[in-house]
Amino acid sequence: MKLIVGLGNPGKDYKNTRHNVGFLVLDNYLNTSDWKEKFNALFHETRINGEKVLFVKPLTFMNLSGDAVVKYVNYYDIDIDDILVIHDDLDLPFSSYKLKKNSSAGGHNGIKSIISRLSSDAFARLKVGVSHDRSIDTKDYVLGNFSKSEMDKFNEMQKDFNKIIESFVIDGIEKTMNIYNTKK
C-alpha cells in the first residue's frame, strides 16, 4: 500500500493559495469529490496498477500535518518508503519541482511536523516551486492566491505531477527521481 499526502490548509479561504499546492495536485489528479473523513483528514482510496493507494489531505493546519499522517501510517502499517508527500517550496522557482528523499524540512512547517511525528525524514517528497516574493511577508505570500497566469501554468504542470504519482506507485521513488529530476 502507498500513502500519498497532499499538504495544505483546510477551508475555502485557502483553496487556491500557494500553501495548498499539495491539495491542488491531489484534487486535479483524482478529479473526484468522493473523499471520506478519518483521523482528522480527508482520504480517497483507489488502485493504481493493482496497488492500493491512499490519498490523504490533512484537515489540521499545516504545522500539525504530522498528526494526521502518523495515524494513517500506524493504522495501515505503511512503510516509510511507501510515502510520498506533496508540498509547496519557496526556494524553488515557480513552475519547477524536485523530488527528494532523506531530506530536512527546509523550513516548511508541515514537513517539520511529519518528520517529528514519524521520527524520520526518509519519506519521499514532491516539492513544488512557488518562488518567493521577498517584498511580501512570507506568511502573506504563501497564503496568497495564485494569479490567473500562475494557475494556468500550474494546471499545465499537472500532467507531470500525474506521471510522477503513477511512477512513484509503480516504480518507486528512486526510479521516479531518476526520470523526473532530470526531465525539466
176: three-class secondary structure by DSSP: helix
Sign of the CA dihedral running 127, 59, 16, 25: positive
CA 75, CA 146: separation in Å to the nearest integer? 35
CA 19, CA 128: separation in Å to the nearest integer? 10
The answer to whether the CB of 36 falls within 8 A of the CB of 72 is: no
CA 114, CA 69: separation in Å to the nearest integer? 7
Residue 108 makes CB contacts below 8 A (sequence gap 6+) with 87, 88, 89
CA 88, CA 97: separation in Å to the nearest integer? 9
**CB neighbours (10 Å) of residue 78?**
17
Could you list the active site residues?
A: 19
